[in-house]
Amino acid sequence: MTAVAPAAFQQANIDYLAVLPLLIVFGAALVGVLVEAFVPRERRHTIQLTISVASLVLAFVAILFATKHQGLTFGYTDGATSRRLFALAIDGPALFMQGALVLMGVLGILIMAERFGGVGSDAFTASGASTPGSPIEAASARAGLITSEVFPLTLFAIGGMMLFPTVNDLIGMFIALEVLSLPLYILSGLARRRRLLSQEASLKYFLLGAFSSAFFLFGTALLYGYAGSVYFGDLSKAVSDTSLGLNGLLVAGAFLVFVGLLFKVGAVPFHAWTPDVYQGAPTPVTGFMAACTKAAAFGAILRLAYVGLDTASWQWQNAVIIVAVLTMIVGAVLSVTQTDMKRLLAYSSIAHAGFVLVGVLAFDQRGVSSVLFYVVAYGFSIIAAFGLVTLVRQDGGEATHLSQWAGLGKSHPVIAGTMAFLMLAFAGIPLTSGFVAKFAVFAAAIGTGGATGTVLVVIGAVCSAITVFVYARVIVLMFFSEPADDTVEVLVPSVGTTFAIAIGTLITFALGVVPSSLLDLADRASQFVR
Amino acid sequence: MPTALPSLLSSAGTYAAGLATHDGEAHAATGFTSYAWLLVALPLVGTAILLIGGRRTDKWGALLATALSWAAFLVGLVIFFQMLGRDAGNRAQTVQLYEWVTGGSFQVQAGLLVDQLSMAFVLLITFVGSLIHVYSLGYMEHDPDKRRFFAYLNFFVASMLLLVLANSYLLLYVGWEGVGLASWLLIGFWNWNPAYATAANKAFFANRVGDFGLSVAMFIMFFHFGSVDFTTVNAGVAGLQGAHQGFMTAIGLMLLLAACGKSAQFPLQSWLGDAMAGPTPVSALIHAATMVTAGVYLVVRSHVIFEASPTAQLVVVIVGAITLLFGAIVGCAKDDIKKALAASTMSQIGYMMLAAGLGPIGYAFAIFHLLTHGFFKAGMFLGAGSVMHGMNDQVDMRRFGGLSGVMKITWITFGIGWLAILGVPPFAGFWSKDKIIEAAFVGEGWRPWVFGLAALIGAGITAFYMSRLFFMTFHGKRRWTDDVHPHESPSTMTVPMMVLAVGSALLGLVLGPTGAITSWLEPVSGAAAEHEPVLAVPVLMALTLLVVLAGAAFAWLRYWRDEVPLTAPAGNLLTQAARKDLYQDQVNEALLMRPGIHLTRSLVFADGEGVDGAAGGLAALVGGWSARMRKIQNGFARSYALTMLAGIVAILGALWVIQ
């Protein structure tokens, strides 16, 4: 390929209505940064919260309008080939994911904003820059400093997440990956209590995230070497053009790109960060990550698997099958011995990622819609579950050890009952969203995945049977055990947190009893544009 | 006609209108049948009121639950009489509830199928269930958690009714999980005793293995037929060619696995004995009369699938035969009255399973025996509860004896149940069990001899252990401990026992010789062709009576005439094995549990308190692995990075090898 001098500047044509949701979220994040700089401290929390929630709601409305503007956009003409290349694909899966992310983001932010009567968010440290245990830390807490930066950071992350399943080329995908990751690294390190653990989690997440990004980039380079383009459409075409004999580049490139994405969903063997980060990060952030990051990353995986590398699926699917099997087994088996609530939910999220991967491997439209349904169903449940974790306290700190949950059913039946219901949803018991979601992915896999799909489903069914034990244990512990000691208390949440937990739980129930509307929606939204 | 379905659907506008069963058509419900949802709703409302109402309902909650259960029975009765009023071809009706899942890719209509088979169950469940509610009023009178008990009991009745009324496997699965949950809650009702909590968990795990089978069966069905409702699946099976028999076998075996878990059939039988930890009314209702027979229901309901796969059918028969002998042998050695009855339940369900595997010739008798068993076994369990009530909750039969004098009603009602299970004419068991034995002797080659003889020998052993139980409890010398003063139970307890005794005595006579049950079920299960057993029927009947008498006589010699020692004698090898449930736990343990148990025990605080480490073999095995794998998670970012790298290299390596 000969080098061509860049053509004269060309205006990219942009359908602004189609990208309006993204613009709103990123714009609000920037406004949030300005608020940090100019608004007095005591009013920041309220203003930031208002901006965040309002912008997300507004973005949701914009998403509804954007459904009328589906198609490829953000295009420019490639000087060398005079072809139009598009950076963004506003289509069913992308908009479905954006809508889900925005709504789950609202719930996540409401829980993050919980103050329990304090000046700033209860979960976040007064000063992230101070050394844990140092006089500066104590002084900043006394001075009433707050870390209201978490709101714009979260908005940036949500923006990146919305971009993640929307992008139409590998470079764009990498940018989205970094945009969503960087704020999360910071958020993970901002816990108010057990700060060393939090900072350790943050650093680990950052190091391993950088490591996986490197793989993603390396894979991108290999694929570029193979196809001469990073656009998904070109990749797909290059693969179907059989004259290319560079299979080595394709196989390795495709898998390495997947590594970068599988890392984000916490698939085995790229999962090692998950339990540590989930445990160390402030609990509201953990809930947000578990719901939104996972959803966004699965959106990206879908686009990569069904648009960019669809024609090469036989090259990489074995690798993803191995990963899916490992993920289900390791997630399920390791969750059995967990003694910390947050780690337990972390391993459970790993197992769930495995189940979703089974749906991805169905390779047809039904696979897409089942994955879309699954991540939404799981997202709302997990946000509510982590929201509940923030309420159970001992000596001011969160009581995350399972022994501290013993007997909670007797002292706080509503909290324990809600948690038990969510546990049943994670276990996939009928009349919860978890059951319908699992049924959808497994049915899709067995329907079109052939023998491999069947094997995956059998493994999946065995693994979900194992995880039932884990969840049942928590329920037994809450309802049938005597409390370990009496100092465990349950805080009374504010309206926002109550709302978030209640909505998450209600949706978990509603999607189990009347799942049709969302299944329909996911079904209608399962067509990618190319 | 199945082929006419789609057009019929769209034109009628309702899905229910066109549902067809295997043989006859199921029409949209008319008349009172369209209120069949009340059957499930009434007890469910009871559960909700009692659980949500909390302590406020303590005073009248138990009565309300009992009343709602009777109300469900009345609804069932009205529907039953309406059904009688229609001719046989038009009896099956469907009640459309709502469209549960209507996503583009799969559709599930939640609806009830009210046909002859489900009505037989509805009447059994609501009638026996209501009687046991009444009995519990007396039995649980002084329990501080009486309200919770009745809430669970109502919940059980609702779930069980949903299970038998569902018109699709998916809805059946909901009921299936519901009864499992109710059973778990009720076995562990007195969970302050860790052994009881463990027993509850054991049942839970065995059932999960079974549920796994049911869900895989559903996936395969969905894959093959695009739906999991009975109509579509049955129509689909009928339209399949022989090439798909492998799939039918797979579905059949998976359904059988589910049935084995729920019905405590070999090899998932181990939980039933331990489940006796629950309050006795629970053992009577759930673990004798109704829930444990759900497996038989599942097999009969799926008979089209089993008929399409002779292999799966044969396995059903084998499982039934093994279990009936297994249970009978174990029953001979148990000194705990409830565990002996549990072993007997297992064995009797083995009979039903065997009959259900025999094909059309056996379905009606499987259900018939299920009904009669529901009466006489529930009656005997209630009798056992009454005995325990009078004997300070003792269960060791070696400390009973001679109770016939002090507990006359219990003695007589139990005696009728005893005669019924023995199969003494004209009591219920004679009409149902002998028919199964007869059917087992039908066929060609080795099968009739093996299965027929197994059933025949089983009858002899049954006679022995049931007589042993009866004599040890009610006759012989009084071997009571000093502090007990046996007395007859209050009338809330004795009246249900009497009612059940009447059923045990007469039900067989009413339904059996009149041919009522076979003709009633024929539209659902298909007509059985006339077959002659390999031995003449009168010969078989005489043989059966002979072995039964021999068994009972042997028991009389050893447990009535001779002195019963207060502590169990060492016994021979078989007795020792039978006492330990033929080493079922040891086998489970050695194969599954040992590898992981010690590791899990120490690891989780919750073990001792919540779920005991010994709760499930599989769980402990997983726990063992889990503990080992957990060591990889050491907290060092560098090792995590190394894990990632190693994983990538290994998978890429694997890819090179594969391609």
Q: What is the pLDDT of residues B540-586, one digit of tens each?
A: 888 888 888 888 888 888 777 777 776 777 667 677 776 666 666 66
CA distance B238 to chain A (A): 20
Q: Which residues of B touch A524 (CB under 8 A)?
A: 104
Q: Which is higher by pLDDT, B17 or B56?
A: B56
Q: Could you tell me how many CB contacts below 8 A there are between chain A and chain B?
A: 198
β-strand partners of B95 = B112
The reply to whether residue B219 touches residue A446, judged by beta carbons under 8 angstroms, is: yes
- pLDDT digit string (tens) for A158-186? 999 999 999 999 999 999 999 999 999 99
The reply to whether residue A319 touches residue B651, judged by beta carbons under 8 angstroms, is: yes
What distance in Å separates the CA atoms of residue B578 and residue B583, rounded to the nearest whole number?
8
DSSP assigned state of B637: H
Residues whose CB falls within 8 Å of the CB of residue A18, separated by 6 or more in sequence, listed in order: A66, A69, A70, A71, A73, A88, A90
Residue B349 has pLDDT above 70, yes or no: yes
Residue A43 contacts B, CB cutoff 8 Å: no
pLDDT of residue B226: 73
Which of B173, B177, B192, B611 is most worth mutating to test chain A (most A CB atoms within 10 A of its CB)?
Answer: B611
The reply to whether residue B205 touches residue A469, judged by beta carbons under 8 angstroms, is: yes
Quick one: which of A121, A118, A123 has its CA closest to A142? A118
Q: Which is higher by pLDDT, B616 or B410?
A: B410
- Cα angle: B428, vertex B370, B229; to 5 degrees: 150
Are the C-beta atoms of residues B188 and B196 closer than 8 Å to each other? yes
The reply to whether residue A337 touches residue B654, judged by beta carbons under 8 angstroms, is: no
Interface pTM, i.e. ipTM: 0.87
The reply to whether residue A339 touches residue B604, judged by beta carbons under 8 angstroms, is: yes
Quick one: which of B551, B529, B354, B373 has its CA closest to B447? B354
β-strand partners of B94 = B28, B113
- Tokens encoding A503: 């909505």
What distance in Å separates the CA atoms of residue B435 and residue B452, rounded to the nearest whole number?
11
Which of B44, B228, B640 is most worth mutating to test chain A (most A CB atoms within 10 A of its CB)?
Answer: B640
- pLDDT digit string (tens) for B397-433? 888 877 888 888 888 898 999 988 888 888 888 888 8
Distances (CA, A) of B488 to B386, B388, B407, B423, B466: 8, 11, 5, 27, 22
What distance in Å separates the CA atoms of residue A406 and residue B11, rounded to the nearest whole number?
57
Residue A95 has pLDDT above 90, yes or no: yes
Same domain, yes or no: B466 and B599? no
What distance in Å separates the CA atoms of residue B554 and residue B546, rounded to the nearest whole number?
12
Q: Which residues of B touch A276 (CB under 8 A)?
A: 633, 635
Same domain, yes or no: B450 and B539? yes
Q: Cα B17 to chain center, whole Å?
A: 32
pLDDT of residue B8: 31
Q: Which residues of B touch A323 (CB under 8 A)?
A: 651
The reply to whether residue B640 touches residue A273, judged by beta carbons under 8 angstroms, is: yes
CA distance A505 to chain B (A): 18
The reply to whether residue B216 touches residue A457, judged by beta carbons under 8 angstroms, is: yes
Mean pLDDT of chain A: 89
Give the torsion sign (CA, B378, B380, B383, B389): negative
The crossing angle, in degrees rounded to 10, of helices B116-139 and B294-301 is 170
CA distance A272 to chain B (A): 6
Quick one: which of B593, B600, B592, B657 has its CA closest to B626? B600
Answer yes or no: is B546 within a domain.
yes
Mean pLDDT of chain B: 79
Q: Which is higher by pLDDT, A66 or B568?
A: A66
- Cα angle: B79, vertex B521, B41; to 5 degrees: 35
Q: Which residues of A touch B618 (CB under 8 A)?
A: 466
Q: Are strands B27-28 and B93-102 parallel, antiparallel or unpaired?
A: parallel
- Tokens encoding B270: 């181990």
The reply to whether residue A406 touches residue B609, judged by beta carbons under 8 angstroms, is: yes
Alpha-helical segments (H) within B358-396: 360-390
- Out of A74-83, A230-239, A283-292, which region has the weakest mean confidence (pLDDT)? A74-83
- What are the residue boundaries of the structural domains of chain A, listed by start? 16-524
What distance in Å separates the CA atoms of residue A393 and residue A373, rounded to the nearest whole number?
33
Same domain, yes or no: B490 and B591? no
Q: Which residues of B touch A263 (CB under 8 A)?
A: 644
Q: Which is higher by pLDDT, B5 or A426?
A: A426
Q: What is the largest CA-CA distance in chain A?
A: 75
Q: Which is higher by pLDDT, A23 or A130?
A: A23
- pLDDT digit string (tens) for B171-202? 898 898 888 888 888 887 776 777 777 777 77
Are the C-beta atoms of residues A471 and A424 closer than 8 Å to each other? yes
pLDDT of residue B482: 78
| Whether residue B448 has a cis bond before it, omega within 30° of 0 | no
Same domain, yes or no: B575 and B586? no
Q: Mean pLDDT across the stretch B600-628?
A: 48
The reply to whether residue A515 touches residue B170, judged by beta carbons under 8 angstroms, is: no
Are the C-beta atoms of residues B640 and A272 closer than 8 Å to each other? yes
Q: Mean pLDDT across the stretch B5-28?
A: 41
What distance in Å separates the CA atoms of residue B60 and residue B50, rounded to the nearest whole number?
9
pLDDT of residue A1: 46
Which of A268, A350, A469 is most worth mutating to test chain B (most B CB atoms within 10 A of its CB)?
Answer: A469
Q: How many domains does chain B have?
A: 2
The reply to whether residue A337 touches residue B630, judged by beta carbons under 8 angstroms, is: yes
- pLDDT digit string (tens) for B256-303? 988 888 888 887 777 787 778 778 888 888 888 888 889 999 999 888
What distance in Å separates the CA atoms of residue B169 and residue A454, rounded to the nearest whole number?
19
Answer yes or no: is B634 within a domain.
yes
- Cα angle: B168, vertex B179, B163; to 5 degrees: 25
Which of B651, B658, B659 is most worth mutating to test chain A (most A CB atoms within 10 A of its CB)?
Answer: B651
The reply to whether residue B652 touches residue A252, judged by beta carbons under 8 angstroms, is: yes
CA distance B58 to chain A (A): 17
Answer yes or no: is B487 within a domain.
yes
Place of tokens 């503990």: B627
Answer yes or no: is B644 within a domain.
yes
What distance in Å separates the CA atoms of residue B115 and residue B490, rounded to the nearest whole number?
38
Q: Mean pLDDT across the stretch B144-163?
A: 89
Among the partner residues B174, B610, B639, nearest to A473 by beta-carbon distance: B610
What distance in Å separates the CA atoms of residue A70 and residue A273, rounded to the nearest whole number?
37
Residues whose CB falls within 8 Å of the CB of residue B10, separated by 6 or more in sequence, listed in order: none
Among the partner residues B103, B197, B627, nearest to A516 by beta-carbon distance: B103
Among the partner residues A247, A255, A403, nearest to B606 by beta-carbon distance: A403
Give the torsion sign (CA, B231, B234, B240, B244): positive
DSSP assigned state of A129: T
Q: For residue A377, what pLDDT band results from cuts at 50, 70 and 90?
A: very high
Specify the DSSP element, H or E, that contains B44. helix B37-53
CA distance B185 to chain A (A): 10
| Whether residue B426 has a cis bond before it, omega within 30° of 0 | yes
Q: For residue B17, what pLDDT band results from cuts at 50, 70 and 90?
A: very low
Same domain, yes or no: B443 and B541? yes
- pLDDT digit string (tens) for B296-329? 999 998 888 888 888 888 899 999 999 988 888 8
Percent of chain A with pLDDT over 90: 55
Among the partner residues B204, B610, B619, nearest to A480 by beta-carbon distance: B610
Are the C-beta atoms of residues B626 and A337 closer than 8 Å to each other? yes
Q: Of B541, B562, B579, which one is at a domain's C-terminal end?
A: B579
Q: Which is higher by pLDDT, A487 or A67?
A: A67
- Tokens encoding B539: 């010969």
* Chain A (267-296) residues lying within 8 Å, Cβ to Cβ, of chain B: 268-270, 272-273, 275-276
Answer yes or no: is B91 within a domain.
no
- Alpha-carbon dihedral A513, A514, A515, A521, rounded to 10 degrees: -170
Residue A297 contacts B, CB cutoff 8 Å: no
Q: For residue B599, what pLDDT band results from cuts at 50, 70 and 90?
A: very low
CA distance B599 to chain A (A): 10
Task: Report the residue of chain B nearest A319, measured CA to CA.
Answer: B651
pLDDT of residue B621: 63
Answer yes or no: is B331 within a domain.
no
The reply to whether residue A263 touches residue B644, judged by beta carbons under 8 angstroms, is: yes
pLDDT of residue A137: 87
* DSSP three-state, residue A393: strand
Q: Mean pLDDT across the stretch B629-649?
A: 81
Are the C-beta atoms of residues A390 and A341 closer than 8 Å to each other? no
- pLDDT digit string (tens) for A262-315? 999 999 889 999 999 999 999 999 999 999 999 999 999 999 999 998 888 888
CA distance A528 to chain B (A): 17
Are the C-beta atoms of residues A236 and A308 closer than 8 Å to each other? yes
Same domain, yes or no: B376 and B462? yes
pLDDT of residue A25: 97
Give the DSSP letter string of B106-145.
Answer: -EEEEEEEE-HHHHHHHHHHHHHHHHHHHHHHHHTTT-TT
Answer yes or no: is B194 within a domain.
no
Q: For residue B616, what pLDDT band results from cuts at 50, 70 and 90?
A: very low
Same domain, yes or no: B570 and B592? no
What distance in Å separates the CA atoms of residue A62 and residue A448, rounded to the nearest whole number?
35
The arrangement of strands across the sheet holding A488-490 comes to A397-398, A392-394, A488-490
Q: Which is higher by pLDDT, A61 or B87?
A: A61
Are the C-beta atoms of residues B104 and A524 closer than 8 Å to each other? yes
What distance in Å separates the CA atoms of residue B2 and residue A350, rounded to the nearest whole number?
44
Q: Mean pLDDT across the stretch A433-438?
A: 90
The reply to whether residue B647 touches residue A268, judged by beta carbons under 8 angstroms, is: yes
Distances (CA, A) of B522 to A262, A359, B518, B600: 56, 42, 6, 52
pLDDT of residue B107: 67
β-strand partners of A86 = A75
Residue A522 contacts B, CB cutoff 8 Å: yes
Residues recorded for chain B: 659
Among the partner residues A269, A439, A476, nearest to B644 by beta-carbon distance: A269
Among the partner residues A272, A335, A520, nearest to B643 by beta-carbon distance: A272
Quick one: which of A148, A169, A151 has its CA closest to A43? A148
Count CB neighbours of A63 within 10 A: 26
Domain that holds residue B596: 582-658
Are the C-beta atoms of residues B26 and B19 closer than 8 Å to each other? yes
Q: Which residues of A touch B600 (CB under 8 A)?
A: 336-337
- pLDDT digit string (tens) for B92-134? 788 887 777 665 556 677 888 888 888 888 999 999 899 888 8
Are the C-beta atoms of residues B256 and B322 closer than 8 Å to each other? no
Place of tokens 């549920």: B211
What distance in Å separates the CA atoms of residue A391 and residue A399, rounded to the nearest whole number?
9
Count CB neighbours of A13 within 10 A: 12
Residues whose CB falls within 8 Å of the CB of residue A129, separated by 6 or more in sequence, listed in order: none
Q: Cα A50 to chain center, whole Å?
A: 23
Q: For residue B208, what pLDDT band results from cuts at 50, 70 and 90?
A: confident
Among the partner residues B99, B625, B640, nearest to A516 by beta-carbon distance: B99
Are the C-beta atoms of residues A114 and A493 closer than 8 Å to each other? yes
| Whether residue B267 has a cis bond before it, omega within 30° of 0 | yes
Answer yes or no: is B643 within a domain.
yes
CA distance B587 to chain A (A): 21
Are the C-beta atoms of residues A463 and A351 closer than 8 Å to each other? yes
* DSSP three-state, residue B442: strand
Which of B220, B644, B649 is most worth mutating to test chain A (most A CB atoms within 10 A of its CB)?
Answer: B644
pLDDT of residue B241: 62
What distance in Å separates the CA atoms of residue A22 and residue A62, rounded to the nearest whole number?
9
The crossing angle, in degrees rounded to 10, of helices B61-85 and B116-139 is 160
Same domain, yes or no: B524 and B621? no
